[in-house]
Structure 1
Amino acid sequence: MSHQFKPGDLALVIASPRKDNPNVGRCVELLCLVMPGETVPMPSGHGLRNVSDRSAWMCYAPGLLLGDLDAGGIDLILPERLSPLRGNFEPDQQKAKEAEPCA
């Protein structure tokens, strides 16, 4: 399932490759989408590099862990491991199609 996430959206962490990951079940705010190999600044001023071969969201929540480290509530999470918590995430084309009057 592909969601149309954007920065500022709230999402629920629903999966992790690690067993017993304390981040699963947390509500997070999506800060920015980080491309593979890209390094982005964290609020702390340090850089965070996406070492994955896929895009991931930089997320924030108090107590969120980056691996086993406390990085100020920041983690990179793949989109398929997030579930939206608000708004209508249908693609705009689908919304427009449903709004068309019946003939």
Structure 2
Amino acid sequence: MEVPWVRVRNVPVDKRSERNMAYVASLVGVPLEIDYATLHRPASARVKIGCRSVDKIPSVAEAVLGEHFYDFYFEVDQVLVRDPNRGESLLSAGKHMDKEKMRM
């Protein structure tokens, strides 16, 4: 698992709460922590998420918050943990699958 701090933009200030920020963060990963110092900052808020690959975090995701659709914008601010074996684990999983197919 990789762990970055991500800046989230376009969350309406009147809808900024711990619950709503966790929901928005869950659009791109598993919410781990909210930077409460930025929660009510107009420009953006920061959330720490867990994800498979920091490089695959989308820059925009659409979702409903309240009764309206919003485009939420994501930008990686700081990478705390990067999985050094990410590529290897994908390759070894593929090799395992190939062996299973050969047995059948």
Q: Give TM class, smaller chain.
A: under 0.3
* Structure that is richer in strand per residue: 2
* Structure that is richer in helix per residue: 2
What TM-score comes out, normalization by structure 1 length? 0.26
What TM-score comes out, normalization by structure 2 length? 0.26
Q: Which has the higher contact order (CA 8 A, sep 6+)?
A: 2
Tell me which structure has the larger Cα radius of gyration.
2
